[in-house]
Amino acid sequence: MSLDDLYRRVIMDHYQRPRNRGRLEENAVTIEMNNPTCGDRISLQLRVEDGKITDAKFFGEGCSISQASASMMTEAVKGLSIEEALRVSGLFSAMMRGEAVDMDQFPLEDIEALQGVAKFPARIKCATLAWKALEKGVKQPQ
């Protein structure tokens, strides 16, 4: 299997079996974010306690890239401090700009599967949608 096939498989797995899809009933900030080029949207909920993201869930509609990225992001940031989550998000943005990043810095290995998106400018907004919601969410008072 080629690396591209492997990455495609990882993305489809997150799309078809999204992690953390759903709603947090209490003590959560909700961030709505949409991709203006296609109208797809995600609603992200974060629970932040003592400067740490203790839970994250999302729902919404979108393409496989946007939904897989949201699944990976929520999985990656749970348990991280706000500073760590922003650092990881910055790393993801750098990867989307096509910069060389140290993949070991991602708390979730699967995120690496999205690196190929950087070659398709029209899809970058799909991949960054959930991460933009994260950045907005951690800056919002709960």
Which residues of the chain form contacts with ligand FES (CB under 6 A)? 35, 38, 40, 62-63, 65-66, 126, 129
- Identify which of residues 2 and 37 has a Cβ nearer to ligand FES in the complex: 37
Closest distance of CB 62 from ligand FES, Å: 4
**Rg from Cα positions in the chain:** 14
- Identify which of residues 66 and 74 has a Cβ nearer to ligand FES in the complex: 66
- Inter-residue contact 13 to 107 (CB < 8 Å): no
- Inter-residue contact 65 to 128 (CB < 8 Å): no
Closest distance of CB 113 from ligand FES, Å: 16
**How does DSSP assign 42-105, residue by residue?**
EEEEEEEETTEEEEEEEEEE--HHHHHHHHHHHHHHTT-BHHHHHHHHHHHHHHHTT----GGG
- Identify which of residues 114 and 126 has a Cβ nearer to ligand FES in the complex: 126
- Identify which of residues 129 and 134 has a Cβ nearer to ligand FES in the complex: 129
Closest distance of CB 67 from ligand FES, Å: 8
Closest distance of CB 64 from ligand FES, Å: 8
Helix crossing, 121-138 with 64-77: angle to 10°? Answer: 30
Residue number of the CB closest to ligand FES reads: 126
